[in-house]
Amino acid sequence: MLGKTAGGLFWLFRYLERSENTTRLIETGFRIALTRPGGSDDEWHSVLQTAAVDQLYAARHGDVDQAKAIDFLLRDKENPSSVLSAIANARQNARLTRTALTREVWEAINDAYMGLKETLQRPVSPKHLPEVLGSIRQHSALVRGAMHGTMLRNDIFDFCRLGTFLERADNTARILDVKYYVLLPSVTQIGSSLDNVQWETILRSVAGARSYRWLTQGNITPKGIADFLIFDGRMPRSLRFAVRKIGSNLSYLEENYGQRHTCHDQINVLQARLQHGTIDDVFEEGLHEFLTEFLGDLGRLGGQIEQDYRFLG
């Protein structure tokens, strides 16, 4: 496979994952605003921060305001992480890698792009927001379904999965990091239950509220949430899960090509830390410090994969 194609697939699936994550962030912000009237601007600020576009937003719009924030996150072409930009980038990468995609996958991506371009021509009113966000998620589910149902399990598939899980691990770690302070055991909070809205925000942002409730029978604690999102191997958006997937896809490539690279050593270190670490260690070390280091390592891993598999030459 061409290095360029591998890179195109990797970014195609990073962008798809990003569009889904941004959608979920908007959904969460909107929900909080509905249930907590008056106090939502802070929430929008942390949403923008999680999407790593808070500075860009400030430069363009100044003060945080719900309507502007939603528009910026959903359809601003100047915002590279907006849903529309992410889908457009995903489709551009799909055009570049057409020869590596099945017709079903290409059509699902093309449909998503065409549908969204049409829907997002004008600002979306709060009345239509849930429906629009729902249809975006539906489109990405169709792409994923087409991919699982029609693509060969070969190196092409591996590069798609690498993009998906790198983006996902990055997203979950950033959600945790932006909110890490509410998860810290502070004097006042010891023994008391966590502010409902805060935990709900975190869990909703990773589509994990329901699962967490089931797993813990409603016993919600800050440490429990952090543990769930970092170490729970059953949770498909946890760091351990995502990193394990990155690890297996990299080892499939190693096996398939008979070539071992620096990225394989890097993922081993990362995997070991998440496999053997505990939430107590993390809190001991400091949650913020742990997440900062993790995000740094993940960034380096992405760069190394790009180099090892010659995405750019």
Partner 1 sequence: MTDDSRFFDEMTAGQPDPRAPYGAYATWFNGEDLKDLRQKNSDAESFFRRTGITFNVYGAAEADERLIPFDIVPRIISAREWAKLTKGIEQRVRAINAFLYDIYHRQEILRAGRVPRELIDKNEAFLPQMIGVSPPGGVYTHIVGTDLVRTGEDEFFVLEDNARTPSGVSYMLENRETMLQMFPELFSRIKVQPVGSYPTSLRRSLAACSPVACDGECTVAVLTPGIHNSAYFEHAFLADQMGVELVEGHDLRVQDGRIAMRTTEGYKAIDVLYRRVDDDFLDPLNFNPDSMLGVPGIMDVYRAGGITIANAPGTGISDDKAIYSYMPDIIEFYTGEKAILQNVPTHRCSEPDTLKYVLDHLPELVVKEVHGSGGYGMLVGPAASKKEIEEFRKKLEARPSNYIAQPTLALSTCPILTAKGLAPRHVDLRPFALMSPDKITLTPGGLTRVALKEGSLVVNSSQGGGTKDTWVLEE
Binding stretches for partner 1 (CB under 8 A): 1-6, 92, 95-96, 98-99, 103, 106-107, 110-111, 114, 155, 159, 253, 257, 259, 309-310, 313
Residues 6 or more apart in contact with residue 177 via CB below 8 angstroms = 288, 291, 292, 295
Report in angstroms how near the CB of residue 221 gets to partner 1 at its nearest. Answer: 45
Q: Are 306 and 166 in contact (CB under 8 A)?
A: no
| Longest CA–CA separation in the chain, Å | 58
Residue in the structure block whose two tokens are 């601007």: 41
- The CA distance from 5 to 11, in Å, is 10
Rounded to 5 degrees, φ, ψ at 265 are -65, -40
* SS3 letters across 199-247: HHHHHHHCCCHHHHHHHHCCCCCHHHHHHHHHHCCCCCCCHHHHHHHHH
Nearest residue (CB) to partner 1, 69 versus 263:
263
Report in angstroms how near the CB of residue 91 gets to partner 1 at its nearest. Answer: 9
Nearest residue (CB) to partner 1, 7 versus 222:
7
Nearest residue (CB) to partner 1, 65 versus 111:
111
Nearest residue (CB) to partner 1, 27 versus 308:
308
Nearest residue (CB) to partner 1, 166 versus 229:
166
Report in angstroms how near the CB of residue 4 gets to partner 1 at its nearest. Answer: 5
Report in angstroms how near the CB of residue 54 gets to partner 1 at its nearest. Answer: 31
